[in-house]
Amino acid sequence: MALKGQTLAFIGCGNMGSAILDGLLDATRSTSSEEARISRFIVSTKTASSATQLQSRFAADEARVSFHSDYNVEAMKEADIIILGCKPYFAEAVLGQEGVKEALAGKFVISVVAGKTPQVLEEYIYKGSAPTPKPYVVRAIPNVAARVHESMTIVEDNPTLPADLADILGWIFEQIGKVKVLAPELFNVGSMLVGSGMAVLSVALDGILDGCVYEGIRRPDALEMAAQGLLGMAELLRQGEHPATFRESISSPRGCTIGALVTVEKAGVRGSFAQSVIDGTKRLQ
Per the annotation, where are the binding residues for NADPH?
A: 72
Query: How far are the Cα atoms of 94, 230, 233 from residue 106, in angstroms, in the given order?
Result: 18, 44, 45
Mark the binding-site residues, compressed into ranges.
11-16, 72
Write the DSSP symbol of residue 113.
-
First-to-last alpha carbon distance for the chain, in angstroms, is: 36
Bind-site residues for NADP(+): 11-16
- Judged by DSSP in three states, 206 sits in helix
List beta partners, residue 83.
Answer: 10, 110
Q: Give one word for 86, left, alpha or beta, with left for phi > 0 and alpha for psi -120 to 50.
A: beta
User: By three-state DSSP, how is residue 68 classified?
Assistant: strand
C-beta separation of 115 from 141 below 8 A: no
The DSSP letter of residue 82 is: E
Dihedral-angle region of residue 8 (phi above 0 means left; psi in -120 to 50 means alpha; beta otherwise): beta
CB 14, CB 113: distance < 8 Å: no
Instruction: For residue 137, give the 3-state DSSP assignment.
Output: strand
